[in-house]
Amino acid sequence: MKHYMCFDIGGTSVKYGVAEENGNLLCKGEIPNKIINTGVDGLVEDLAATTEQYRKEYSLYGIAVSTAGVVEPGQGLILYAPKYFPGYPGTVLAERLEKRCGLPCTVENDVNAAALGEYWLGAGRGAKSLFCITVGTGIGGCAILDGRVIHGAACFGGEAGLQHITPESTWEEMASTRALIRNVAASKGLPETDLDGRKIFAMAKTGDTDAVAAIAKQMDDLATGIVNICYILNPERIIIGGGIAAQEEYLYPLLDSALRKKLFPLVYDRLALCFATLKNDAGLIGALKNFLLRNNLNNGKM
């Protein structure tokens, strides 16, 4: 069975793994993302060095990358990146790695890759259409139809966190974990730095009324954005990922109840609400799926 080097590039670290073509990860690890200090050249060199290290043990047939930022996936070109990725926009990352390692390479946005991973081997398995939402500091999204990501004309397809729920506020400003922290901190008169998502859910589970109310509001606001997505795309499944996916038992009843109230019954009845199952491996597995699809390999077909 062929083996592939997979990377998932985040703001502070780069997850990596060697995967079989069926998506099975044979090994996993993590290295720091030092781009803020070493620049793009340093990042490319770190990825290449890791690839060369595992090339001694495995016969690698390609490099599959998931990364933060807006990506033009045909070229593996970084169109936009957060400020903590200096020099990243304009980088044709796929070409850089291909030249450095002598292996074919594909690059996809991290949320898109996570959605592909869930579609292939996770909560989206068997669905013809889905929308995957990652909830963390912000809100990311990805629409998949018949196994293909809907990228859009500027590769901004799925960026639902930027939709305006009110004239003043975007969805991620209202329903992200950052908003949850802000609301609980305001209720308790605490600095936001004293709280995080885990602490707030722990508080809620012991009956803290401020935490309980803030989470209920977050789920109601999250449902509002999902309703907009459902009326535009009408997907079979909505998959919730990101840090809050670990709180499925607590959150599912709240979110499901809000969707039942807000959605037209016919739409609600034909919608499956799911929470992501691949956890931190989704980006690595989805990066591989993107590689297989873009290279027209048999295992890339649904």
Residue 300's pLDDT band (cuts 50, 70, 90): very low
If asked whether residues 174 and 285 sit together in one domain, one would say no
The DSSP symbol for 236 reads S
Residue 128 pLDDT > 60, yes or no? yes
By residue range, what is the domain housing residue 45?
3-110+280-300
If asked whether residues 41 and 27 sit together in one domain, one would say yes
Residue 71 pLDDT > 70, yes or no? yes
pTM score, whole prediction: 0.95
Selection from 116, 121, 176, 120 nearest residue 142 by Cα = 116
Q: Answer whether 33's CB lies under 8 Å from 47's CB.
A: no
Query: What letter represents residue 252's amino acid?
Result: Y
Q: What is the mean pLDDT of the chain?
A: 96
If asked whether residues 191 and 148 sit together in one domain, one would say yes
Tell me whether strands 237-242 and 129-135 are parallel, antiparallel or unpaired: parallel
b/e burial code for range 134-157 (CB count within 10 A of at least 16 → b): bbbebbbbbbbeebebebeeebeb
Please classify residue 219 by burial: count the beta carbons closer than 10 Å to its beta carbon, then call 0-12 exposed, 13-18 middle and 19+ buried: buried
Token pair, residue 258, equals 């809000």
Selection from 147, 145, 140, 123 nearest residue 239 by Cα = 123
Q: Answer whether 217's CB lies under 8 Å from 195's CB.
A: no
Residue 297's pLDDT band (cuts 50, 70, 90): confident
Distance CA 267, CA 203 (A): 34
Mean pLDDT of the region 164-189: 97
pLDDT of residue 302: 40
If asked whether residues 162 and 248 sit together in one domain, one would say yes
If asked whether residues 102 and 181 sit together in one domain, one would say no
Distance CA 97, CA 45 (A): 9
Mean pLDDT of the region 7-12: 96
If asked whether residues 101 and 24 sit together in one domain, one would say yes
Distance CA 104, CA 272 (A): 37
pLDDT in tens, 180-236: 999 999 999 999 999 999 999 999 999 999 999 999 999 999 999 999 999 999 999
